[in-house]
Chains A and B, each alone.
Chain A
Amino acid sequence: MQLGDILHSTLLMSAPLIFAAMGGLFTYKVGLINIALEGLMTIGAFSSILFTFYTHSLIIGIVAGIIAGLLASILFALFVLGLKCNLIVSGLAINIAAISGTDYLLQVMFHTRGSFSPENITMLPKFSLGIFEKIPLIGPMLSNQGIMVYVSILFVFIVTYVVNKTVFGIRIKATGENAIAAKSTGIDPKKIYLYTFIWSGVLSALGGIQLSLGYVGLFNQNITSGRGFMALAAIYFADGKPLLTTAACLLFGLLQALQYRLQIITKIPPQFPQILPYLGVVLVLWFISYKERKKNV
């Protein structure tokens, strides 16, 4: 059990989290509590594996996943912004609808209960960027990963850039701080909200694609098993700062990677490392508030 192995697994496990977290980052910055990341990931995972199965084309599968995430997030936005449904309830509803709906479709279309794992499904290709292998420590981590893993890292840079250096990023920050004031400067908060919803949908769907096509080519309704919430946790952990959020995702990925190894080697029950991310968020939230209070006093 070498360090290189562990680091490799860490990045592998973190990729979906990073996608979802980068997606949810904008909604966080804009002041919206986006619980639907879980459901959006599921929708992306399902659509991509479904279309890849039918068309034997990975590209169509990926595009299908993205479009599904796009449509779902637009629906989400419609309910919250258009019909004025409660944000939290709508998010929960999207999650429930996604998990139930995908399983429902599985049963109706394939008469399967549980998992959908077609044989010989085209999976996401892996490759190795040779240059990385030379770097000590993180070298093995970055080589021989699936293409989506690299894309997730790419998005970290994209999001960091957008947040800090673009007009859109400033508009998001402004709307997040004070939507009414932002409106007076010509920013349309509703449009900004819509964009952040769409972004969260597309990126979460990409994370879902990695989940279904990037690991073992399988889908079941619990494929996300809380990852959407872990991504949310990472965002809150880091107060929406992209690099810190990614670090949190890597931490959670590390815990997941260690989980299996720990079980074999030590006697630590698997539930404990599983609990850590969730408990960690609560503690961090408390800690952040505690510091705020001290400042104000």
Chain B
Amino acid sequence: MNTVSKIKIQEIFYSLFLPVSAVSVAFLIGGLILLLSGKNPISIYLTLFQYSIGTRSGFFDSLLLSTPLIFTGLATAISFRAGIWNIGIEGSLYIGAFASAWVAFTFIHLPGPLLIFLSFLLGGIAGGLWGLFPGFLRAFYKVDEVVSTIMLNYVAILFTSYLVNYPFAVPGLANAMSKSIAKQAFLKRLAPPSQFNISYIIALFTVIIITFTYYRTTFGYETKLVGLNPIFARWSGISTPNVIVKAFFVSGILGGIAGSAQVLGVNYRFIANFSPGYGFDGLAIALLSRLHPIGIFASATLFGMIRSSIPQLEIFEDVPKNILGILEASIMLFATATVIIEWAKRRKHAIR
């Protein structure tokens, strides 16, 4: 086989080696913790896989729970690819979710498909605009985006909480949530009784679109270049600040769409603090899959599987749901342990 295909196979190997080993080590650590808590990790993991793939409700719940993660994973990856540490997807998620809920409970006389379309559109744009704040700060004032996006996440969560508790509060409702969106805006459920709905199809399309964007559009090329070497990018005539702003905007759009999908497909209204950290999961997923859209799809599905079996594990195996957080943290740590790559490369050369 010639050199080119050898290199390609090597690339595929390396891009799989890290995620697989990171996940394996994470499961090992999780297993150890479970063992130390007096539980049987093997039976727990078996239950996990059996439920999330083997049963009908588990399967669809896995896909359902992976939907927001696909969006947030892609969103984070776009920024990271441009070398931007955008931790603010959670914020765009909230702003986008509220915006789309607002459209869907305000324009209740519009026909279903149009309402849904506008809802997603405004949700995405709102999320994108939210992303422009840290975007401009980074692009034109070199403000470090890690701190600014984390801060703005809190601002978004608190602000939307304010919105549903005050201006848009519904008298008589105990919890902090908006009124229900119009019935015709509910996304169709594909496999009742699971909440699995059309937003998954939208997510799949988004994966395809983003893959196309990465490899075949100017934007994809420019972000990659800026991520690799901003100085060289500048010499190539690319305006780095513009690319940075665009990347924040696109990431924000995807974050907003993630929020819209939750509103239109699952909650049917905006609920304060509704996100169990979808934005941060997206970060772990983006890192684990090394920013590759297909990898993001796979990792998001894996996370979805784990999340879907949590109720089962809680009830039948007495496993607290926080094991998920432990697994996630381990994955994040080992996915970026670049020492593993260096080790693998050294081993390969040593054999020669």
Contact = CB atoms under 8 A, between A and B. Distances in A.
Whether chains A and B associate is: yes
Interface of A: 33, 35, 79, 82-86, 88-90, 92-94, 96-97, 99-101, 103-104, 107-108, 221, 226, 229, 232-233, 236, 269, 271-272, 274-275, 278-279, 281-282, 285-286, 289-290, 293
A97 B329 contact: yes
Contacts of B287: 86, 89
A96 B146 contact: no
B235 interface: no
A236 B142 contact: no
A195 to B, nearest CB: 22
21 contacts: A83-B333, A85-B334, A85-B338, A96-B332, A100-B322, A100-B325, A101-B322, A103-B320, A103-B325, A104-B322, A104-B325, A229-B150, A233-B151, A269-B162, A271-B158, A271-B161, A278-B151, A285-B147, A289-B141, A290-B141, A293-B141
Contacts of A229: 150-151, 154
Given A100-B325, A101-B322, A279 B151 contact: yes
The interface centre, meaning the residue of B85, B144, B147, B161 with most chain A CB atoms within 10 A of its CB, is B147
The interface centre, meaning the residue of B146, B330, B334 with most chain A CB atoms within 10 A of its CB, is B146
B27 interface: no
Interface string B85-126: 101000000000000000000000000000000000000000
B85 A85 contact: no
Contacts of A286: 137, 141, 143
A108 B147 CA distance: 34
A293 B3 CA distance: 50
Interface string B260-280: 000000000000000000001
Contacts of B134: 282
Given A82-B339, A90-B333, A269-B166, 12 more contacts: A84-B338, A84-B339, A84-B342, A93-B330, A100-B322, A101-B325, A107-B320, A226-B154, A229-B150, A271-B161, A282-B133, A293-B141
A245 B161 CA distance: 29
B333 A278 contact: no
A222 to B, nearest CB: 11
A90 to B, nearest CB: 6
Contacts of A88: 85, 87, 146
Given A89-B332, A90-B336, A286-B137, A279 B146 contact: no
A interface, over-half SS: helix
B339 A93 contact: no
B146 A274 contact: no
Contacts of B143: 282, 285-286, 289
A33 B144 contact: yes
B165 interface: yes
A297 B250 CA distance: 31
A85 B151 CA distance: 23
B155 interface: yes
Interface in B311-352: 320, 322-326, 328-330, 332-339, 342
Given A35-B150, A275-B158, A281-B151, A83 B337 contact: yes
B244 interface: no
Contacts of B154: 226, 229, 275, 278
B336 A86 contact: yes
Given A271-B161, A278-B152, A282-B137, A92 B147 contact: no
A69 to B, nearest CB: 17
A285 B332 CA distance: 28
A152 B144 CA distance: 29
B283 interface: yes
Contacts of A282: 133-134, 137, 143, 148, 151-152, 155
Contact of B336 (A89, A281, A285): A89
A289 B87 CA distance: 20
Nearest to A39: B329
A18 B137 CA distance: 27
Interface in B126-169: 133-134, 137, 141-144, 146-148, 150-152, 154-155, 158-159, 161-162, 165-166
Contacts of A97: 325-326, 329-330
